């Protein structure tokens, strides 16, 4: 259901506080704030996880207040704001896309996620979120090869490389060491593999890594996780499939279909004898077991007004 956003809303801007990002974001935000009249506050994150902590504490202390937390950054900042508001009433989130990668907003190509005025004039929609143990993913959970690419890509971005370029380089670096992963995956109690896989995506939305249409059939409010597991394969097969995986054709391409398992599920269980990395909207954590499920319509998302055509 979509309905008009309440007019007198407190907006709290959660700003990526990294020094190389903070000034640029703040400068553009101040420019946009000059053209609107709203009640607002700002918070600058101090490190990974700080945005979640701040948002949860604020929600605990102000349970009845109508607040829209605006994620000002990339995929990591969006994840932290979404994770922070889960379970709280009267709280919504919006996105001002300033980051190196903003995969989630590609689900809504007609909406302008660069406009504060668009957010204020926008509407809200209830969307799902994926829970991974005690963590959350609004966009996509990546396992195996993809999570190793995310880990390597994050390191390259932190060194100053542009997002898409960083993930392309991370893919190349991971080609020779991360194609065989000893991990078992079950979806709604059904085993999808034995003990090896190339990669597995568990998606709420469609895109990951800045360019990969990993879950072309995903719907953000259907109460289901899009699960796609690629079996281990040769380097040649992998390179053939990569083009289709990037374009989102892997679910229909005959060559790819023989080398993957696809389903929709409410719950996924992931286990390994060894420590394994998993990527939640690009943020990487490590464990030997993950219990994954979907929380239907857990997030109130502000959809900004649509991009105006040139006509």
Task: Tell the burial category of 123 from Cβ atoms under 10 Å away from its Cβ (0-12, 13-18, 19+).
Answer: middle
Q: How many Å apart are CA 76 and CA 131, to the nearest integer?
A: 16
User: What whole-number percentage of the chain has pLDDT above 70?
Assistant: 96
Q: How confident is the model at residue 1 (pLDDT cuts 50, 70, 90)?
A: very low
Per-residue pLDDT at 263: 98
User: What whole-number percentage of the chain has pLDDT above 90?
Assistant: 75
266 pLDDT higher than 50: yes
Cβ-based neighbours of 98, under 8 Å, separated by 6 or more = 16, 21, 24, 25, 28, 72, 73, 74
Question: Which residue segments constitute the domains of the chain, with CATH numbers given?
Answer: 2-127+297-303 (3.40.50.10330), 137-295 (2.60.200.40)
Summarised one tens digit per residue, pLDDT across range 4-16 is: 444 478 999 999 9
Tell me the average pLDDT of the chain: 92
Q: How confident is the model at residue 310 (pLDDT cuts 50, 70, 90)?
A: low
282 pLDDT higher than 90: no
Per-residue pLDDT at 3: 46
Q: For CA atoms 180, 181, 182, 187, give the dihedral sign.
A: negative
83 pLDDT higher than 70: yes
CB 297 within 8 A of CB 230: no
The length of the chain, given as a count of residues: 311
Phi then psi for residue 248, to 5 deg, are: 85, 20
Which one-letter DSSP state was computed for residue 197? B
Q: How confident is the model at residue 18 (pLDDT cuts 50, 70, 90)?
A: confident
- What average pLDDT does range 86-100 have in this prediction? 93
- 311 vs 110, higher pLDDT: 110
Structure tokens that stand for 250 in this block: 């892997």
Per-residue pLDDT at 309: 65
Summarised one tens digit per residue, pLDDT across range 210-238 is: 889 999 999 999 999 999 999 999 999 99
Per-residue pLDDT at 5: 46
- 283 vs 150, higher pLDDT: 283
Element (H, E) at 205: none
Q: How confident is the model at residue 20 (pLDDT cuts 50, 70, 90)?
A: confident
Q: How many Å apart are CA 32 and CA 30, to the nearest integer?
A: 5
Which one-letter DSSP state was computed for residue 251? T
Q: How many Å apart are CA 43 and CA 301, to the nearest integer?
A: 19
81 pLDDT higher than 90: yes
Task: Of 11-25, 41-55, 61-75, 120-134, give the lowest mean pLDDT range.
Answer: 11-25
- 274 vs 167, higher pLDDT: 274
Which one-letter DSSP state was computed for residue 24? H
Partners of 93 in the β-ladder: 69, 301
Summarised one tens digit per residue, pLDDT across range 191-215 is: 999 989 999 999 999 999 888 999 9
Per-residue pLDDT at 62: 97
- What average pLDDT does range 138-158 have in this prediction? 86
Cβ-based neighbours of 89, under 8 Å, separated by 6 or more = 63
Per-residue pLDDT at 79: 97
- What average pLDDT does range 271-289 have in this prediction? 94
Which one-letter DSSP state was computed for residue 101? -
Q: How many Å apart are CA 44 and CA 72, to the nearest integer?
A: 10
């Amino acid at each position: 259901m979509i309905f008009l956003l309440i007019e007198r809303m407190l907006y709290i801007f959660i700003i990526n506080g990294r020094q190389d990002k903070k000034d640029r974001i703040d400068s553009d935000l101040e420019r946009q704030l000059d053209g609107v009249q709203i009640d607002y506050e700002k918070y600058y994150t101090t490190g990974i996880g700080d945005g979640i902590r701040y948002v949860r504490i604020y929600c605990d202390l102000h349970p009845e207040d109508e607040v829209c937390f605006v994620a000002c950054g990339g995929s990591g900042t969006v994840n932290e704001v979404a994770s922070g508001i889960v379970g709280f009433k009267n709280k919504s989130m919006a996105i001002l896309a300033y980051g190196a990668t903003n995969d989630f907003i590609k689900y809504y190509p007609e909406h302008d996620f660069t406009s504060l005025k668009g957010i204020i004039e926008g509407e809200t929609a209830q969307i799902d979120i994926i829970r991974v143990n005690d963590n959350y993913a609004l966009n996509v959970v990546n396992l195996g090869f993809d999570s190793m690419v995310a880990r390597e890509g994050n390191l390259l971005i932190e060194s100053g490389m542009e997002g898409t370029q960083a993930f392309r380089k991370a893919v190349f670096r991971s080609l020779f060491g991360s194609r065989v992963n000893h991990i078992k995956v079950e979806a709604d109690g059904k085993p999808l593999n034995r003990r090896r896989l190339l990669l597995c995506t568990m998606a709420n939305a469609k895109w990951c890594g800045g360019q990969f249409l990993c879950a072309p059939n995903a719907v953000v409010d259907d109460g289901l996780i899009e699960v796609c597991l690629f079996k281990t394969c040769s380097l040649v097969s992998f390179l053939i499939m990569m083009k289709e995986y990037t374009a989102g054709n892997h679910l229909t391409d005959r060559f790819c279909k023989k080398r993957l398992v696809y389903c929709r599920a409410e719950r996924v269980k992931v286990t390994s004898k060894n420590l394994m990395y998993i990527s939640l909207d690009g943020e990487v954590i490590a464990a030997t077991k993950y219990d994954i499920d979907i929380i239907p319509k857990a997030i109130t998302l502000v959809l900004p007004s649509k991009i105006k055509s040139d006509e």
